[in-house]
Structure 1
Amino acid sequence: MSTGSGADSAPAPTAIDPTPVKQTMFSSLRVRNYRLFAIGQVVSNTGTWMQRIAQDWLVLSLTGSASAVGITIALQFLPMLLFGLYGGVLADRLPKRRLLLATQAAMGATGVALAVLTLGGHVQVWHVYLTAFLLGLVTVVDNPARQTFVAEMVGPDQLRNAVSLNSANFQSARLVGPAVAGVLITAVGSGWAFLFNGLSFLAPIAGLLMMRNAELHKVDRAPRGKGQLREGLRYVAGKPELIWPIVLVGFIGTFGFNFPIWLAAFVDDVFHADAGTYGLLNTLMAAGSLAGALLAARRGTSRLRMLVGAAILFGLLEVVTAFAPTFWIFALMMVPIGMFGLTVNVTANSSVQLATDPLMRGRVMSLFMMVFTGGTPFGAPLVGWVTDTYGPRIGFASGGAVAMLAAAAVGLMLARAGNLRVAVGWHRGHPQVRFVPRERLATVA
């Protein structure tokens, strides 16, 4: 882990790879505080996915407009784009456990408020818009605080495993939440899904209250001061092992993760199927993402070459899948796409956290999440236009091509920053491409 606080020290990208530690797939769950956190998160994540489905369905029922659903989603992500960096400043300044108690309570309150309005028969579309925007505002602070608090619970040795299990936790809820929401909406209406989501935040709040402060890894907090936002940006800009992974996830998040657009277009225009088929494709991708998260949890290191390689394969898989000749080939390809997409996210997240000074981690992770999710309002309309104009296959392939090219470019920039060069040779009768220090290049072939 980096311990410098300025931008003047920029170690080579390979220098941040931590020493491998012996760990199992679930080793971070041995830590009591993290175990309480994970249990709370699986409950609240399930509620969050339920509310996402119920919210979209309610807006569609109230307006009959898919554009209104898009406005709701945009309002929920807009605060992260506008204020995301300020959330990181607060996460670095304030005690993260207390901060999370406040944000989790506020997020639960938005669910309960929407449930009361819906169950009482008074809900209007502007109520949904408002609660989506308020939820986005709370997420601005909650996201960096929650991500950086993981390091305080498990320490640097188990950080990558815990980040991977967080992703597995989220993907598990993605498999369960929408299915439960569908049953509730059909049986008793959207209001009960909102109520379950609001009450689900009692689980992480209880977990936070039950934690033992003495078992947390002490992390110094950033003092109050002017220019902390600019300081965080300068810190990232001066470290290639931070800036280039963030640039890469920005490109992939903006152009490579527009699956609602592509899958809906394929289901409607290519395969001429129904909503059940759309749900099947999302389920297969979620299953692949869950598998990717669990596999990532077994690895003890966060290597940037793994990030670049996974990103290239992710883009390549999208390009190949775009031209799948039959539905079942297309559907089965959702599994490896989900797996490599999740590998990119987990590896980038843990690599950036491990390379960041703890005093800066909140600001760096807020920038990471702002770039990863904040590009959606810009990328989605462009990708949607390409898909509408040239067809789903070209739209899907173009997003994968951008992701693949961005990964290759970032790999070359990281190699240059680390004084590395590409070496092509043979290993056990197979061709091998790898990065090696320049002085070793002559001895590789």
Structure 2
Amino acid sequence: MLVPDPGGWAVLRNRDVRLLIGARFLTGLGYQMQAVAIGWYVYDLTKSTLALGLVGLAAFLPAMVSALFAGHVADTRDRRLVAAMAYAVLSLAALGLFASAVIGSQVVWPIYGLVIGTGIGRAFANPAQQALLPTLVSREQFGSAVAWNASIWQSSSVAGPAIGGMLYVLGPAVVFGTGAATFALASCLIAAVRHRPEPLTERPRVTWAALSAGLSYIRSQPVVLGAISLDLFAVLFGGATALLPVFAAQVLHVGPLGLGVLRSMPAAGAVATAIVLAWVPLRRQAGKRLLIAVAAFGLATIVFGLSTNLFVSMAALFVVGVADMISVYVRQSLVQGETPDAMRGRVAAVNTVFIGASNELGEFESGTLAALVGAVPAVATGGVATVLVAIAWARFFPALRSRDQLMQG
């Protein structure tokens, strides 16, 4: 039986939580607007699906390279200031994109460089922000806090692509300039959080053991390992985001405004699901529901890949967002809720790499495969692979499959 959680609304009465999720919203808004503009800008310059894939690779590599150090920083420095400085880096990278668009550059490699700069900022922002949230609420309110945080992020993902598509009509420089402003404001909001961590009596040395503690923890927790690796491979194979400009231009023929709408649909499904989960948290059969959601993600991806109707494609992407939100909710609750505070940053950093691999690296995989076999076969095949991954993980990770309650203890 689904029972509403009375703490769902109380979470939002916490000033620090409001500031945190406000910064999260602005960052998501700027990033999603920028993603639409970069995708269309690069495709307009190159007419290459491989070039779109390289955008995803450029966004992912900084997170992979700096993950362990970023997590260590989040655990040994003031997480508010780490996130604020990282958001400032995002603003500077957006200003670089703004300058490139203003001068009308026809060279694509500087865009990749600025995407790498954005990736560096996100690599440090995500672990600090994720590790900060559990310290702002009680354990009883944590599930609702995760859902509200995800809901706000996904709300920005609904608005961001649509706004980005509309602003792109005025030119890419308008989108990039607006993104720079949102990142700067997010930096100010996160810096205003009043929470102060306990001061460290002795700052840990930067050793391999300290840097890799997050990896060691995840390996020792089969449920956590199963949840985040499931997300990694499912979205790695099933992600179609990088190819949306191709589907908008060549399959559905809807232009940049239609591209913004298509990019918004997964987020619309996700935010609707997150709001439900904030009020009615998952209480039983969490593992089975996670596996079913991933399989549904794959099936919806297949439908999108084969569709030539805009409304069918929108509906399929909406279901993709619903399924992905359930996966995010379960994974984030497990990772953040069961990890000791002293190493939350390092574990969150590893989790960020998994997320980045499943999104940005998935975009590279999709773009490369599409260059070889075409966009439609690439997306449909990826959806099939995602369904197979869900079936395989149900067998390989019995502890995840049998996990009943989401939060134990």
Give the TM-score taking structure 2 as reference length.
0.83
Matched, 1:372 2:355: yes
CA distance in 1: counterparts of 2:201 and 2:341, whole angstroms: 7
Cα distance change, pair 224–192 in 1 and its aligned pair in 2 (3 A): same
State the AA in 2 paired with 1:403: T
Deviations 1:305-343 (A, max 9, x none): 332232233223434565669654443233222211222
Q: What corresponds to 1:232 in structure 2?
A: 214
State the AA in 2 paired with 1:71: L
Q: What corresponds to 2:322 in structure 1?
A: 339
Paired residue secondary structure (1:300):
coil
Matched, 1:257 2:239: yes
CA distance in 2: counterparts of 1:263 and 1:124, whole angstroms: 19
Cα distance change, pair 324–217 in 1 and its aligned pair in 2 (3 A): farther
Q: What corresponds to 1:164 in structure 2?
A: 147
C-alpha RMSD of matched pairs (Å): 3.5
CA distance in 1: counterparts of 2:304 and 2:97, whole angstroms: 39
Shift of 1:144: 0.8
Tell me if structure 1 keeps the 8 A contact 2:161–2:261: no
Q: What corresponds to 1:3 in structure 2?
A: none
Matched, 1:289 2:274: no
Deviations 1:238-286 (A, max 9, x none): 11122111211111121122343378348735x5665555444333333
Paired residue secondary structure (2:72):
helix
| Correspondences of 1:242-391 after superposition (within 5 Å) | 242-261=224-243, 264-265=246-247, 268-269=250-251, 277-301=258-282, 303-319=286-302, 328-375=311-358, 379-380=362-363, 382-383=365-366
Tell me if structure 2 keeps the 8 A contact 1:219–1:358: no
Tell me if structure 1 keeps the 8 A contact 2:165–2:259: no
Cα distance change, pair 29–229 in 1 and its aligned pair in 2 (3 A): same
Larger radius of gyration: 1
Tell me if structure 2 keeps the 8 A contact 1:119–1:192: no
Tell me if structure 1 keeps the 8 A contact 2:239–2:366: no
Q: What corresponds to 1:424 in structure 2?
A: none
Q: What corresponds to 1:40 in structure 2?
A: 23
| Correspondences of 1:157-236 after superposition (within 5 Å) | 157-187=140-170, 189-213=171-195, 223-226=204-207, 227-236=209-218
Paired residue secondary structure (1:154):
coil
State the AA in 1 paired with 2:238: G
CA distance in 2: counterparts of 1:324 and 1:182, whole angstroms: 22
CA distance in 1: counterparts of 2:70 and 2:186, whole angstroms: 20
State the AA in 1 paired with 2:233: F
- Bigger helix fraction: 2
Paired residue secondary structure (2:149):
helix
Shift of 1:287: 1.7
Cα distance change, pair 120–212 in 1 and its aligned pair in 2 (3 A): same
CA distance in 2: counterparts of 1:262 and 1:181, whole angstroms: 14
Shift of 1:398: 2.9
Paired residue secondary structure (1:396):
helix
CA distance in 1: counterparts of 2:281 and 2:200, whole angstroms: 22
Matching residue within 371, 387, 394 for 1:404: 387
Cα distance change, pair 327–219 in 1 and its aligned pair in 2 (3 A): farther
CA distance in 2: counterparts of 1:133 and 1:148, whole angstroms: 23
Range 369-378 or range 251-260, more displaced? 369-378
Q: What corresponds to 1:82 in structure 2?
A: 65
Cα distance change, pair 220–195 in 1 and its aligned pair in 2 (3 A): farther
CA distance in 1: counterparts of 2:318 and 2:48, whole angstroms: 31
Q: Could you tell me which runs of 5 or more consecutive residues in structure 1 were left unpaired when the two chains were aligned.
A: 1-19, 421-433, 437-445
Deviations 1:214-233 (A, max 9, x none): 6x799999733522133332
Range 192-201 or range 138-147, more displaced? 192-201
State the AA in 2 paired with 1:307: L
CA distance in 1: counterparts of 2:244 and 2:168, whole angstroms: 26
State the AA in 2 paired with 1:201: F
Tell me if structure 2 keeps the 8 A contact 1:245–1:410: no
State the AA in 2 paired with 1:172: S
Q: Between the two proteins, what is the percent identity of the paired residues?
A: 25
State the AA in 2 paired with 1:167: A
Give the TM-score taking structure 1 as reference length.
0.77
How many residues matched? Answer: 400
Shift of 1:369: 1.8
